[in-house]
Structure 1
Amino acid sequence: MPQPAGRAQRRGGGSRKPREERWAELFAVATDIFHEKGYEGASLQDIADRLGMLKGSLYYYIHSKEDLLFEVINEVHRQGLENIVALASQPGDPLQKLRNVIVGHIEHMCRHLTGTTVFLHEMESLPPERQAEILGGEHAYRSVFLDLVSKAKADGLVRDDIDPKLASLAILGSVNWVYRWFRPGGEFTPRHIGEQFADLILRGLVAD
């Protein structure tokens, strides 16, 4: 896991856990508490108590609660983007790649439900400039979907009346909503949900 941004490397002494291990624990606990209580309801004291640390010790790793939320959301976005970029790079025509991305994106979200929920619920708790720092100037995540729809249309695989930008927004909006109702161990597996959504979406795009 990447180290927190803007913090100097420090060496612990004695029996203290390595910094990387302690940061991973802090990251996991913060993600859980932001998920349980929401950003506004969570406190650094909550996080410190669950870690068995003094609140002041958290400042060894972060400057503020906002910094911690930024680190959580940034890492969730990084992992998700890495996943869909890899899927979009697999062999196949643009529609097949789009199908792979839709299925794989839904599977990834469902298997990382806590982090996904924090990302989608709490992004707007960050200032606009920090949101932009995570998403990128061109919204890199959305750009993967836009690029595939645009290429599929250019290849004659998507209907002429489809606007790629609107289509990519509709696709991402619909698949992202899965986190609201998906329950692990429920009626549908992540794979089944992904395949069903991909079928529905592609049937609405494909040219005759």
Structure 2
Amino acid sequence: MAAREMRPSGGSRADEQRRRILAAAVEVFSRRGYRAASMNDIADGVGLSKPSLYHYWRTKQDLLVVVYEEVLDESLRGARAIVAAAPNPREAVRGLIVERVAYTCAHQDLLKICFEEESELPPDLAAPILERRRAFEAVVLEAVEAQLAVSGRELPMAPKTFVNTCLGAANWVYKWYDPAGPLSPRELGEQVAAVLLPALG
């Protein structure tokens, strides 16, 4: 998520500083890895002293949790909006796949953190994040099941397995997508959707 997208609600000076610190944390976590990163690294990224940084965020774990929450909440809002606006279930599934690929390509630093640092979350903090992820996956599953009901098609796998396959393909692009390559994030999303959708009829 770009810095402007991670801005907390409200427009106060403190909100702006928190936004800057969060953006710096994303850059540091993505570049160095969560475990190797320090609050000093993040403070340096925004030109703050370490005591000043602690005025806004108590621990780097707090920052990591917020990154997960922001990504998953935005993904869930977007998925629900796509389904609500789609003229039929097939278009809903297509839109969900395209958007997932496009979002992942556009926010490779964020998705690298989300997919590679989950083990750093203690169980009490990981549980609500897992609930957010399940809510997002449920939106995709409902759209897939609705399309299967319309088409009368039977998949050679459970619908949930198909959803996991689609999301796995979409999410993995953070590893290899090249912004300087020939395809925009959305163009790549359209291609991935074109490969996956025929299975649904």
Q: TM-score, normalised by structure 1?
A: 0.85
- 1:6 is matched with which residue? none
Measured after TM superposition, the shift of residue 162 of structure 1 is: 4.3
Give a deviation string over 1:105-135, Cα, whole Å, max 9, x none: 2112212222122122212211233222123
Find the counterpart in structure 1 of residue 43 from structure 2: 48
Measure, in 1, the Cα distance between the counterparts of 2:92 and 2:48: 46
Larger relative contact order (CA 8 Å, sep ≥ 6): 2
Whole-angstrom distance in 1 between the partners of 2:155 and 2:42? 52
CA 1:86/1:154 → structure 2, altered by over 3 Å: closer, same or farther?
same
Q: Answer whether contact 1:95 1:157 (CA < 8 A) is retained.
A: no
Letter in 1 for 2:158: D
Partner of 2:122: 127
CA contact (8 A) 1:98 1:145 kept: yes
Structure 2 unaligned regions, length at least 5: 1-6
Seen in structure 2, the aligned counterparts of structure 1 residues 157 and 23 have a Cα distance that, compared at 3 Å, is farther
Does the CA-based 8 Å contact 2:155-2:199 persist in structure 1? no
Asked whether the equivalents of residues 44 and 65 of structure 1 are also in contact (C-alpha less than 8 Å), the reply is: yes
SS of match in other structure, 2:172: helix
1:67 aligns with 2:62: yes
Does residue 196 of structure 1 match 2:191?
yes
Q: Which amino acid aligns with 2:194?
A: D
Quote the Cα distance in structure 1 between the aligned partners of 2:169 and 2:157.
Answer: 17
| Residue 160 of structure 1, CA deviation | 5.4
Q: Does 1:151 align with 2:146?
A: yes
Q: 4+ residue runs of structure 1 moved beyond 4 angstroms? A: none
- Counterpart Cα distance in 1 of 2:152 and 2:57: 49
Please tell me the residue identity of whatever aligns with 2:17: R
Amino acid at match of 2:21: L
Show the counterpart of 2:4: none
SS at match of 1:183: coil
Contact 1:162 1:205 in 2 (8 A): no
In the alignment, is the contact (CA less than 8 A) between 2:26 and 2:110 conserved in 1? yes
Q: Distance in 2 between matches of 1:138 and 1:61?
A: 27
Distance 1:138 1:105, change over 3 A: closer
Q: How far apart are the structure 2 equivalents of 1:68 and 1:97?
A: 33
Larger radius of gyration: 1
Determine if contact 2:89/2:147 at 8 Å carries over to the other structure: yes
- Alignment partners' CA distance in 2, 1:144 and 1:158: 20
Query: 2:75 is matched with which residue?
Result: 80
Q: Say yes or no: does 1:180 pair with 2:175.
A: yes
* Partner amino acid, structure 2, of 1:20: D
Aligned length: 193
Q: How far apart, in 1, do the equivalents of 2:180 and 2:125 lie?
A: 35
Q: 1:61 to 1:81 in 2, by over 3 A?
A: same
Q: 2:148 touches 2:154 (CA, 8 Å); kept in 1?
A: yes
- 8 Å Cα contact 2:105/2:174 also seen in 1: yes
Report what 2:161 is aligned to.
166
Aligned partner of 1:58 in structure 2 is: 53
In structure 1, what is the Cα distance between the partners aligned to 2:152 and 2:122?
A: 40
Q: Which residue of 1 aligns with 2:24?
A: 29
Distance in 2 between the 1:112 and 1:199 partners?
22
Residue number among 101, 108, 111 corresponding to 2:103 in the alignment: 108
Q: What is the TM-score normalised by the length of structure 2?
A: 0.88
